Amino acid sequence: METLFWLILSTLGWTFICGSEMERDFMWHLRKIPRLVSERTFQLTSPTFEADAKMVLNQACGIECQKERPAPNLSDLEDSLSYETVFENGTRTLTRVKVQGWVPEPRENVTAQEAPVRRKRQVYGTDSRFSILDKRFLTNFPFNTAVKLSTGCSGILISPNHVLTAAHCVHDGNDYIKGSKKLRVGLLKMRNKGSGKKHRGSGRNRREARGGAGRQGSRENLKESAKAGRRGKESARGQRAADGTPSFQWTRVKNTHIPKGWARAGRGDAALDYDYALLELKRAHKKKYMELGVSPTVKKLPGGMIHFSGFDHDRADQLVYRFCSVSDESNDLLYQYCDAESGSTGSGVYLRLKDPDKKRWKRKIIAVYSGHQWVDINGVQKDYNVAVRITPLKYAQICLWMHGDDASCTYG
């Protein structure tokens, strides 16, 4: 199984490249990004943090539904792209934004492919997911960019200080969910035998000691979990492999940004198009992260394929990787049948395309996995696993959240 997985992983980037003409098509093309400028920030009342986790919307506007909607005007976009920020101490603000240099994109006119009627939610037919069991993969790029949220979702590292995830992982559209006030992010960490002695007295452990007995107990629990998770398997090369139950280095979240298009607070339904959020970590990490990119059309995806990794609930904290073809698209959403279960929502969907300047292959995040949804396709309710595309405007917004201004957000 390990050999098969490695063969698939190493050849995916080359399977669909046949000649220089095809190679030129599958490249990252930088484009001018609209400016998103913070106009004014208001103080809001503190959230109650009492909502239950909500992984599925009551309904989602599908491709046909979106075609019937009038094109959004600039005022509507600015309202949806305005955003809430919740801070570690529980306070909350609303920031109004102005959009500059925006050119409306033509609406996608895609004929929906005939999709089979799905009888099994989120996993379709034969389960095609891969559990990443070997620490040689688990702790290295791109798999090391996957993180776990204390609310039960997944996310992805996009800078030394930031995690991209789904908005519904922290907010149900009306209020922030239980557990999001003291939100934590778990970064993958593999421990070798004797690691407790090796790291004893480190700065991190001294901080934990000052944090009191509660944190000490949490540390001991992590040690026990890591110890219980190790098995005596030998890989084909005679090396000891991890059993796929990694430990996590948990980090508190400093603040959370959510677009107003999702955080409606009773003023209309949350829009699936805005199911994304950015978490700023209290402490920077030193892991390799994955850069943000603007989502190309399906025609520009090698083989029409997308990839993502997350912590599916049915696999007991194992990191699970999958890839599949996109069945359909709208301006804001990717419709696909990637096998996934709850827990994987919030994962970063990425591509591997060629960097035209450096002549090398590069992975970038182009969407956020939102989960299973019923959508209206040609007047019929069909279910898909849906991902929210990173459009130029969303790229500008996430970039603004990361940098505090738009100076670094000119091209994407």
Q: What is the pLDDT of residues 1-28, one digit of tens each?
A: 444 454 445 444 444 444 443 444 688 8
* Separation of alpha carbons 314 and 323, rounded Å: 18
pLDDT of 21: 38
- The reported pLDDT for the residue numbered 374 is 75
**Confidence at 270, pLDDT banded by 50, 70, 90:** low
Burial of 173 (0-12, 13-18, 19+ CB in 10 A): buried
Query: How many angstroms separate the Cα of 85 from the Cα of each of 44, 54, 71?
Result: 10, 20, 28
Give the Cα-Cα-Cα angle 339, 309, 192 (nearest 5 degrees): 130
- The pLDDT confidence band at residue 355, using thresholds 50, 70 and 90, is confident
Alpha-carbon distance of 142 to 278, in angstroms, equals 19
Structure token pair of residue 391 = 């459009």
DSSP H or E segment with residue 226: helix 213-229
Residue ranges of domains in the chain: 30-100+128-189+244-403
Q: How many CB atoms lie within 10 A of CB 7?
A: 10
**Residue 50 tokens, joined:** 């009492």
What percentage of the chain exceeds 90 in pLDDT?
38
| Token output for 362 | 């590069």
Could you tell me what percentage of the chain is helix, strand and coil, using 3-state DSSP and rounding each to the nearest 5? Answer: 25, 30, 45
**Mean of per-residue pLDDT scores for the chain:** 76
**Closest Cα partner for 177 from 215, 214, 147, 150?**
150
pLDDT at 381 over 90: no
Cβ contact 157:287 at 8 Å: yes
Tokens of 37: 């400028």
pLDDT grade for 107, boundaries at 50, 70 and 90: low
Cα Rg of the chain (Å, integer): 21
Nearest CA among 362, 316, 365, 308 for reference residue 339 = 308
Q: Of 173-182, 197-206, 326-335, 350-359, where does mean pLDDT reach its minimum? A: 197-206
Take residue 12 and report the two structure tokens written for it. 């995916």
What pLDDT is stored for residue 26 in this prediction?
81
Consecutive H or E run containing 228 = helix 213-229
pLDDT band at 356 (very low <50, low <70, confident <90, very high): confident
- For position 263, what pLDDT does the model report? 86
34-48, pLDDT tens digit by residue?
Answer: 999 999 999 999 999
The yes-or-no verdict on residue 110 having pLDDT over 60 is no
Give the model's confidence band at 366: pLDDT under 50 very low, under 70 low, under 90 confident, else very high. very high
CB 33 within 8 A of CB 412: yes
Q: Please tell me which residue, 47 or 118, carries the higher pLDDT value.
A: 47
- For residue 177, give the DSSP letter: B
Q: What's the token pair of residue 61?
A: 């506007």
Pairwise CA distance, residues 301 & 85, whole Å: 34
Among candidate residues 61, 26, 14, the one with its CA nearest the CA of residue 333: 61
Residue 164 has pLDDT above 80, yes or no: yes
Tell whether the torsion through CA atoms of 402, 404, 408 and 412 is positive or negative. positive
CB 242 within 8 Å of CB 134: yes
Q: Under a CB-based contact definition with an 8 Å cutoff, are residues 308 and 350 in contact?
A: yes
30-100+128-189+244-403: CATH topology is: Thrombin, subunit H (2.40.10)
Residue 189 has pLDDT above 90, yes or no: no
pLDDT, greater one: 204 or 190: 190
Residue 153 clears pLDDT 90, i.e. is over it = yes
Structure confidence by residue, pLDDT tens digits, 217-243: 444 444 434 433 443 333 333 333 344
How far, in Å, CA of 25 to CA of 134, rounded?
34
